Structure 1
């Protein structure tokens, strides 16, 4: 089986590396960043040369891209060059409506499309323990499960196409809202003058702990905002979740507030930093830093 992988960024890069290590198959790769391609070819992958060549020469294709717009562009190129019978897994965080439409368009070309977003962050992409959720034909999921397991620790078939994207957006809505309120809570503690290290210890061992809180502590409160999950991407994900809620008539009371704070942070120039840079909005408004 010939496998293609498109998108070798912070998440796609390590997932592709583990795929190359975990399967005894040829893996062709493509990315607009030549350095990312070189890193993967040094580990055993083969440079495709072009997206068209990868599409025409692969039986199974994985794509890991930043936004729905990027996914649509790459899917169109794959549709133009892939052979009937090709299977395409979209590992990106995408809008359910977009993946449903792509599924229909690609099916007309004889290409099977499954949405397969991941959760767990860069660290779990690196050690192949990341959680993979898949929407689409269950028989296709089962047939490719060994390949999926080469770069993920847990694989869950969620339901039909689009259902995995719903699960991913809900998951990210929770972690990002938790992160925003964690930043606010830490500023309250700082403004009130208590020992932040003791406050953190209490929360980490109490009922207020969360992945979002741990991110604020590990990155924001250390003053290091090197992107683990860039604010621009987090903003895109939460925006998709807010749009999904509106689409289904769910009152948006909490997530839109978190989205507004993230919009402020982006407006202040923090979009390329880690998503925990929302803490810097509070620091700027209050004129004091929240650090351990």
Structure 2
């Protein structure tokens, strides 16, 4: 029986970890820098005092962390301890080039590194049906596919290391750019006297209707910015996409406009707010009330 470890049991990690505990039958050790997140698993898993303690006491370690810099700090400790025989599965949205470097070093030192980011949000991970892309050595992935299947469905293999994180960024760029479009157009339409709730209905029932438009359009029109995905994390993802364009020395064009609005919103203190709250910045620019009236 494999010993499992999970580092980062916040909004996304909690659902994954809970499903692994329920469905795998394997012992679990967890760590989170947020004590409240960790304490949720009292009586369900062993709560470690550090990421390194999780690593030492686990055969397969799952990561759900904010960015590639944090992942580098955590895995540096792993390398000092020795990674031979260990499997690390990164479920975060990470920078692909950093992922490729970690994969190569793990392989050189006798370990396994798999990138396996998810689509969807906390509700999907809790339900165990979050779509997942995986990449790395296929034979090694096959050995842990039953574990990933505890929280993910469908699971798509997309090739060599870093591909899954690259594909995830492509999907986030497309979806979050669409979300920013709704955040810009509906405040402008309201300023021009258009009934935006009716406009949203017309668009959503026509060719514009899709999950992203429905999800973010409702939030923007109703000024309902409940937290599902933090704006700061969205900015991080879009910054990673910008770095990919820079790898080939080409401009991002549309991406640059998205980044402008997100950075402006971040200056206004919205980094930990929901991604949709970038619409509040547009409402403010247009002299409209950015929030629901009490």
TM-score using structure 1 length: 0.94
RMSD (Å) for aligned C-alpha atoms? 1.7
Aligned-partner Cα distance in 2 for 1:149–1:49:
28
Aligned-partner Cα distance in 2 for 1:84–1:124:
33
Matches within 5 A, 1:148-227: 148-227=148-227
Gaps of 5+ in 2: none
| Residue aligned with 1:119, SS | coil
Which residue in 2 is equivalent to 1:267? 267
Instruction: Assess if the C-alpha contact under 8 Å between 2:281 and 2:290 holds in 1.
Output: no
Q: Runs of 4 or more off by more than 4 Å in structure 1?
A: none
Aligned-partner Cα distance in 2 for 1:223–1:185:
14
Gaps of 5+ in 1: none
Aligned-partner Cα distance in 2 for 1:199–1:289:
19
Q: CA deviation at 1:49?
A: 3.1
Q: CA deviation at 1:14?
A: 1.4
Instruction: Assess if the C-alpha contact under 8 Å between 2:83 and 2:106 holds in 1.
Output: no
TM-score using structure 2 length: 0.93
Q: CA deviation at 1:196?
A: 1.9
Q: CA deviation at 1:250?
A: 4.4
Q: 1:226 to 1:126 in 2, by over 3 A?
A: same
Aligned-partner Cα distance in 1 for 2:231–2:116:
22
| Residue aligned with 1:16, SS | helix
Q: CA deviation at 1:217?
A: 3.2
Which residue in 1 is equivalent to 2:40? 39
Q: How many residues align?
A: 291
- Higher mean C-alpha displacement, 273-282 vs 199-208: 199-208
Instruction: Assess if the C-alpha contact under 8 Å between 2:133 and 2:155 holds in 1.
Output: yes
- Higher mean C-alpha displacement, 48-57 vs 14-23: 48-57
Superposed CA offset, 1:66-90 (max 9, x none) = 0111010111122223551111011
Aligned-partner Cα distance in 2 for 1:183–1:208:
15
